[in-house]
Amino acid sequence: MKRLFWLLPLLGIGALAWYVYLLRTAPPEVSFTKVRRETLISSVLTNGKVEPLEWTALRAEREGTVVRVSVERGQTVAKGAVLAELDAEEARVNLTAAQARVASARADLDLLDKGGRTRDIVELNSSIEKDRIDLADAKRNYETLQRLVAKNAATRYELDQARQKIQLLETDIQSLTQRREALVSKQDRAAAKARLDEAETAVETAKRRIELSFIRAPIAGTVYQLEIRTGAYVRPGDLVAQIGRLDRVRVVVYVDEPDLGQIRIGLPVTITWEALPGRKWTGTVEKLPTEIVARGSRQVGLVACIIENPERLLLPNTNVNVQIRTNVVNEAITIPKEALRRQNTQAGVYLLESGNRVVWRPVRIGASNITKVQVTEGLKEQDQIALPTDVALRDGLIVKPVFAEQ
């Protein structure tokens, strides 16, 4: 029994030592993946900003208060559509007055052309004399009211009415006198013509001012920026809105300098926008950069791309993600990028051979994307190559392979 008591611990120690030995001498576990044959799509991933392909900045052409805004931001409008309206009451009053002057001037000019009529002169003299008598009475009445107002015996309103009567009579006398002079003297025809020209110019000026009160879209498109609101006061040159054609947009893409050599006109482009996940827009490269510019810590070229935007969801100044497809290789032999290693300047992989032995295999590489690289020489489909591992691999090392899911 005593011998058995001492034997059991010795057996346990021996088993443990044997287990440790096996652990130390067992081949290390290394993950492997198979070489695949597939279509390899190479692309440049970057970002960019949307801008309209065709656009215009609409500015106010006259000063005034905004009395009505007819559109909202994002609304599609036709060419000539009214976007907003400015107060034009004063211009309408001026138009009415100018049209009256035109009518009067034309009548005067017509009378001069006919040489005038004696009956008209008599009637005008009679009217002028009557107005002068009424004017004298009105002035006396006004003086009387001034004294009464000073004594609080009459109202200010009565005094104002008396003053207005004097002004109306003086204006009427002046108008009648001018008409009489026109009738009497043919030499004043040039002056009458000048008055007509001035009145017609005033009419056109008032009409133009009224027309400029309606702020219209110069092109058909989408109002993607609106700077005015009802009640605001605008001055000539103030920005009212920006309108653009958004069914096709330009995306200015920021391509890092090392990637510019892969970019060519006509390459397909895919746009995504984080604000609308799952949506994609497509187009092509339109224009290559002419210089390298600094953008933050990056040195980039500005690549212009034309993108189809039929639903007009991509808005100007939107920051978007961009994928430019630079190359497509069908039936390419591919491996994960992380499986590619380098010894000195030679690219290669560790290939699993019979007996679970790894050997160094130099390879020649071709196209690549973010995750995979094409092998043009050195491997064939279904070859098994080592993935990154903490084990220090060397040519001829025996390993315990663990195969990654394909």
What 3-state DSSP class applies to 55?
Answer: strand
pLDDT at residue 21 greater than cutoff 50 = no
Q: Using 50, 70 and 90 to split pLDDT, how confident is the model at 194?
A: confident
The percent of residues in the chain predicted with pLDDT above 90, rounded, is 58
Question: Which range among 123-127, 177-181, 214-218, 327-331 shows the weakest confidence by mean pLDDT?
Answer: 177-181
The pLDDT value given to residue 119? 66
Three-class DSSP category at 27: coil
Residue with more model confidence, 141 or 254 = 254
24 pLDDT higher than 60: no
148-157, 255-264, 323-332: segment of lowest average pLDDT: 148-157
Ordered by start, the domain boundaries in the chain are: 29-40+331-403, 43-54+245-329, 89-212
**In the chain, % of residues over pLDDT 70:** 89
pLDDT digits (tens, 9 = 90+) for 27-36: 999 999 999 9
Query: Backbone phi, then psi, for 155, in 5-degree steps?
Result: -95, 160
Q: Tell me: domain 29-40+331-403, CATH 2.40.420.20, correct?
A: yes
Q: What is the pLDDT of residue 110?
A: 78
Tell me the mean pLDDT in the region 122-138. Answer: 87
Q: Please name the residue ranges forming H helices in 185-289.
A: 189-212
* pLDDT for residue 182: 62
Residues 253-262: what's their mean pLDDT? 93
Mean pLDDT on 193-222: 91
**0.75 cut: is pTM over it?**
no
pLDDT tens track for 57-82: 999 999 999 999 999 988 999 999 99
Cα 406 from Cα 404, distance rounded (Å): 6
Distance CA 378, CA 372 (A): 16
Q: Is residue 300 within 8 Å of residue 292, measured between CB atoms?
A: yes
Topology alike, domains 29-40+331-403 and 43-54+245-329: no
In the 8-state DSSP scheme, what is residue 404?
Answer: P
Domain 43-54+245-329: give its CATH superfamily.
Efflux pump adaptor protein, beta barrel domain (2.40.30.170)
CA–CA gap between residue 205 and residue 214 (Å, rounded):
15
Q: Is residue 260 pLDDT above 80, yes or no?
A: yes
Per-residue CA distances from 387 to 206, 351, 360, 390 (Å): 82, 10, 13, 10
